[in-house]
Structure formats: C-alpha cells, structure tokens
C-alpha cells in the first residue's frame, strides 16, 4: 500500500492535534511558533504569552528543574538555551495549571537546522510513577515478610535445637536427683522444679512452633494444619473440623506461608471473639486456585463498625499477605450469623 505525501502530512497533523503529549515548536530565538491542544492545557496563560513573545526564561515560571547526572532537579545548563548538551531525552518537573508539580519525560531537539526550528515534547509520567510505586511497595512488603519468616525460622530452630535441648538435659539431672539419698524437703523442691521446667519446656516448644512450624517446611500445609489444630483443641478446647482436598502435596513456599498465616490468624480471631466452641476449616483446589475457608457460627461482627473488637490489624495483615501472592481475601459476617473468611490464590495447572 503506497502512502503519498499528502496522506503523510494529514496523518502527522492528526497526531499533532490529538496526541496526549504536549508539543511546542520554537524558533532559534526561543519564540513559540506553535503548540498542540495538549500543550495549552498544562501551562498558565502568562507562561504561554511570554513564550510567544520570545522570552527564553518564560519556561522558568513553570519549570521546577530537570534531572541531570548529578542532581534530581537542577536548572544548570537550561535545556531551552543550551545547544551543546544532548537533551533528546530527559526528565523534567513542571508546575502545571491546576495539577501541581508533575514529572514529565521530555525531548528538546532541532528538527529544522536551516530555519532553526526546535521541538519540545512532554509526556506525563504520573501514571508510570504510581505503577512503579505500587510495584515497589509490593516488592518491599514481600521482602519484609520473607525476612520475618526467615528470622522466625532461625529463632524457632534455635529454641528447638539449643534452649529446649538444654532444658531436657536439666530435667534429666533433676530426675536423677530424685533417686539419690536426699531429705524430704529437698526432694519436694526438686519435684516442684521439675514441674516448672516441664511447663517451661512446653511453652518453649509451643513458641518454636508458632514462630515457624517445622512441619510446614518439611511436610506441607495439611500436616501443619492438623498439628496446629490438635494443639488448639488441647489447649483451648476449640474444636476444629478440618478437611483437605488437595491435588498437590506441596505448593510454592510463599503460598504455603500465606495460607498458613491467614488460617492461623482467622482461627485465633474466632477463638478470641466469636464465642463459639467449634469452627470449620476447609482447604481445597478449584478452577486452578487454592482455596481456604474458615467458618464459625459465632456471634459475628459488623464489618462497617467504627470500633470493631480488636485492633483490626489482624484482618489488615491477612489482606496484605493475600495480595502478595495475587490472592483475594473475602470476609463475610453479620452480627448474630457467624463469620466466613475465604482466601483464594491462583496456582495455575498443578497437574
């Protein structure tokens, strides 16, 4: 298909008129000779009038500096008058009309050497900045949570391998003392100390598991859940009806951590606030997603309440964790009808 010069000119004019980029044309004396519709929207009328009059410093009324190799914002060697440096691509900040200071990617270059015509184009970077900021926040959150889990794992191993083993050694020594020829009061004291050490040892073991259950790393979600729920029932009397229908035995480490922590928080919330003796936990796969549901028939709560029970940080943390693995957290609850929490995480085809 051949395109003649008239068609090219027509297309270029349409691009110029309808482009979202602001386009300014200047002559060799920095006098504004033309600009498109987008350009008229970002600068105050006074700036435009001074540009038309040929004032090379007119842009200074709006410009907040451009990014150089040495500074984030500088006015040294202004891009409008410096013909030696390469300003074919740079970043500039403009105080725009009604929008405040906006970052732009800019280009200022000669397009007609004979007539000294130069063009300045500006593309708004706000959307790209917001996208980058959101990405950076998510990556930072992932790094923080990973660091937390790694530290929990380290402390958990340290408690189990060092402190707990030392406690066991002391218990053995105390039990040996009971069978030696010692007075009754001493024996009684030894027995009391043994009981205290046993209780402390149980606390240390529990703390180790809560920090980072070894079962989760070694055997996966189902085994970790069953161990955790047995402990909940033994220590708090809360019955947990648990069912697992999983096509895969293991998932990505980050996914397993998120599912375990969300479930852990949901169960403890039910324990503290739901006023119920039993909850139902289901873990299953559906439509290439891993789903977790935690349901209780307790007193429920008003999700729109200004001052809900607790700090609300637990629910916020659950949502934050879900977003890290592109999951969604749904909380359904009303006063008197119980609560259902569902976590849904895409896992692709595990087959």
CA 347/CA 251 separation, integer angstroms: 8
Whether the per-residue pLDDT at 330 is higher than 90: the answer is yes
DSSP string, 25-65: EE-TT--EEEE-HHHHTTS-HHHHHHHHTT-TTGGGGTEEE
Whether the per-residue pLDDT at 89 is higher than 60: the answer is yes
CATH code for the domain defined by 220-351: 3.30.565.10
Q: Band the pLDDT of 343: cuts 50, 70, 90.
A: very high
The label of the residue with tokens 């009397």 reads 237
Q: Band the pLDDT of 146: cuts 50, 70, 90.
A: confident
Are 347 and 255 spatial neighbours (Cβ–Cβ below 8 Å)? yes
CA 245/CA 256 separation, integer angstroms: 15
Q: Band the pLDDT of 162: cuts 50, 70, 90.
A: low
- Consecutive H or E run containing 5: helix 5-18
Domain boundaries, the chain: 5-124, 125-212, 220-351
pLDDT tens digits for 199-214? Answer: 777 766 666 666 677 7
Mean pLDDT score of the chain, rounded to an integer? 83
Q: Which of the residue ranges 9-13, 23-27, 131-135, 303-307 would you say has the lowest mean pLDDT? A: 303-307
Q: What is the architecture, at CATH level 2, of domain 5-124?
A: 2-Layer Sandwich (3.30)
Q: Quick check: do 5-124 and 220-351 share a fold? A: no
CA 274/CA 309 separation, integer angstroms: 10
Are 251 and 290 spatial neighbours (Cβ–Cβ below 8 Å)? yes
CA 129/CA 341 separation, integer angstroms: 34
Whether the per-residue pLDDT at 3 is higher than 60: the answer is no
pLDDT tens digits for 289-328? Answer: 999 999 999 998 887 664 455 545 578 788 888 988 899 9
pTM of the model: 0.51
């Amino acid at each position: 298909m051949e395109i003649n010069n008239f068609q090219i000119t027509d297309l270029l004019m349409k691009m110029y008129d309808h482009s979202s980029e602001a386009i300014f044309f200047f002559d060799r004396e920095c006098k504004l000779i033309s600009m498109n519709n987008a350009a008229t929207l970002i600068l105050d009328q006074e700036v435009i009038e001074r540009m038309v009059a040929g004032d090379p410093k007119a842009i200074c009324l709006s410009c907040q500096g451009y990014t150089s190799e040495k500074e984030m914002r500088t006015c040294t060697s202004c891009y409008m008058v410096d013909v030696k440096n390469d300003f074919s691509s740079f970043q500039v900040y403009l105080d725009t009309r009604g929008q405040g200071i906006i970052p732009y990617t800019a280009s200022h270059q000669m397009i007609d050497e004979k007539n000294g015509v130069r063009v300045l184009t500006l593309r708004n970077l706000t959307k790209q900045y917001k996208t980058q900021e959101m990405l950076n926040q998510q990556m930072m959150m992932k790094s923080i949570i990973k660091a937390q889990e790694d530290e929990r794992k380290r402390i958990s191993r340290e408690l189990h391998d060092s402190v707990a083993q030392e406690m066991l050694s002391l218990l053995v020594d105390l039990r040996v003392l009971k069978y030696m020829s010692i007075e009754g009061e001493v024996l009684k004291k030894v027995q009391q100390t043994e009981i205290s050490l046993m209780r402390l040892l149980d606390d240390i073991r529990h703390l180790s598991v809560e920090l980072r259950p070894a079962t989760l790393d070694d055997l996966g979600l189902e085994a970790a859940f069953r161990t955790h729920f047995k402990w909940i029932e033994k220590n708090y009397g809360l019955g947990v009806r648990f069912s697992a229908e999983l096509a895969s035995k293991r998932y990505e480490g980050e996914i397993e951590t998120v599912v375990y922590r969300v479930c852990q928080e949901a169960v403890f919330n039910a324990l503290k606030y739901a006023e119920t003796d039993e909850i139902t936990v289901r873990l299953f796969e559906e439509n290439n997603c891993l789903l977790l549901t935690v349901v209780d028939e307790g007193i429920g709560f008003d999700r729109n309440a200004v001052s809900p029970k607790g700090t609300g940080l637990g629910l916020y943390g659950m949502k934050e964790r879900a977003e890290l693995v592109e999951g969604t957290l749904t909380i359904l609850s009303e006063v008197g009808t119980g609560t259902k929490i569902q976590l849904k995480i895409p896992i692709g085809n595990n087959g």
